Amino acid sequence: MWIVDCQFTLRNQQSSINNQQSKIKSPQSKIPMIPSRLTFMTLITLLAFGLAPAALDAKRKKPAYKPPLKIVDITTSPVPFAPGHGHMAFTVTVELPKNLDQFDLLEVSSLISVPTRRSIRFLVSRQPLNAVIIENGKPHVKTTLLWDGKDQTRQHVRQGTYSYEARAKLMAREEGYTKAKIVSPFARGTLDVSSPQALAKQPPHLEHVPFVSDETGPDLLQEEGKDASAKGQPDNGADAGKVVP
């Protein structure tokens, strides 16, 4: 009887040893399985971080927009300028596209306003394209707008700094109307109006006016109906030097 009990005990011990050895030989059973969804999201995240720098580089390498019609220079004279002592000559130099066969007129305008953005005067001039000059291999035209220093009520403005917003348009005559075909980006800057006493302190001179151009993308390129003037106006010829209050 004692021998049987010993054999039974030995068998139980051997079975326990075998179970422990099997657990040691297969450690993979203790490693939890990674969910497939987590693996997919991790892969997507890694790809996103890997492709992001390439996308940014491609965006940086995008060529800058070059408008076919743009304002390249603005001068004012005389400086200093005081209302009631003559006109201010606001001269705008416009760079034109090389092909001008489909255009008839160049319109240059400037809206003068106070710092609060309230407009006080609108100046506009139209001229035929017969005074084109070539500078650095590109066609240019100069247009002069005259401002008498008065607001829309025909009163002289006060001394101070005023904002301007200049723009150029290439026009074409179609079926008795003049329509805008290409419009330049805006050129924005400031003008100084002095008191009469300032005229005696320094001789009048011509001054180049700094401005900021909105060359951020296509504005109006050979399309009709997207600007107020593009709707067409009766063609009564070139209204050169016209000043609109």
Q: What pLDDT is stored for residue 53 in this prediction? A: 61
Question: Domains in the chain, ordered, with CATH?
Answer: 70-235 (2.60.40.10)
Highest-confidence segment of 65-69, 207-211, 212-216: 207-211
Give residue-wise pLDDT tens across range 76-102: 999 999 999 999 999 999 999 988 888
Mean pLDDT confidence for 190-212: 91
**Residue (of 121, 117, 118) closest to 87 by Cα position:** 121
Q: pLDDT over 90 for what percent of the chain?
A: 44
Q: Residue 52 and residue 45: Cα distance in Å, rounded?
A: 11
Q: What is the mean pLDDT of the chain?
A: 76
Q: Residue 229 and residue 181: Cα distance in Å, rounded?
A: 10
Q: What is the pTM of this model?
A: 0.65
SS3 of 164, please?
A: strand
- Residue 183: count other Cβ atoms within 10 Å of its Cβ: 23
